[in-house]
Amino acid sequence: MSNFMKVEFAAKSENESFARTTVAAFIAQLDPTVEELTEIKTVVSEAVTNAIIHGYEENEKGTVLIECELKDDNISLTIRDFGNGIEDVDEAIQPMYTSKPELERSGMGFTIMENFMDHFEIESIPNHGTTVTLRKKFLNNQSAYN
């Protein structure tokens, strides 16, 4: 059994909590542990914040697209922006790297995503946008699909 959802919203910082809550509500059907739910909410928050701040440089005319698929006890998340893209992905994924040191960001977003998820992938084309793909298998086998 599987399920999916897709949501697109304006690249406004106030929509970060909307994205996090929407994904959390959708994955509730898998009956995640508190830790699993917290990790998913955190990676969604990090990816959406990156899209807004780095992808669009807080230009609210852009949009962020989230696709979420549930299959058995697995979640697959895709978070996409159509903004600036990343010139050097290898550099960007290094812990503590930030392209905006003036914003007091820690540069840990990609590191957090990579550590909390089973699969982490970035595809980016400068001036066309960035897609972050994340996958995780939930350890709690009490989902609505079993």
Q: Are 2 and 102 in contact (CB under 8 A)?
A: no
The pLDDT value given to residue 102 = 63
Reduced 3-state DSSP string for the chain: CEEEEEEEEECCCCHHHHHHHHHHHHHHHHCCCHHHHHHHHHHHHHHHHHHHHHHCCCCCCCEEEEEEEEECCEEEEEEEECCCCCCCHHHHCCCCCCCCHHHCCCCCHHHHHHHHCCEEEEEEECCCEEEEEEEEECCCCCCCCC
Q: Mind listing the pLDDT tens digit for each residue in 79-110?
A: 999 999 987 766 666 666 565 656 666 667 78
Catalytic site residue 20? Answer: no
Catalytic site residue 50? Answer: yes
Domains of the chain, CATH where assigned: 2-137 (3.30.565.10)
Residues whose CB is less than 8 angstroms from the CB of residue 30 and which lie 6 or more positions away in sequence, other chains included: 70, 73, 75, 138, 140, 143, 144, 145
Q: Mind listing the pLDDT tens digit for each residue in 97-143?
A: 565 656 666 667 788 888 999 999 999 999 999 999 999 999 865 54
* Active-site annotation holder among 15, 39, 50, 84: 50
The pLDDT value given to residue 100 = 61
Catalytic site residue 84? Answer: no
* Active-site annotation holder among 15, 46, 80, 84: 46
- pTM, two decimal places: 0.86
The pLDDT value given to residue 144 = 47
* Active-site annotation holder among 105, 114, 123, 135: 105
Radius of gyration of the chain (CA): 15
The pLDDT value given to residue 58 = 72
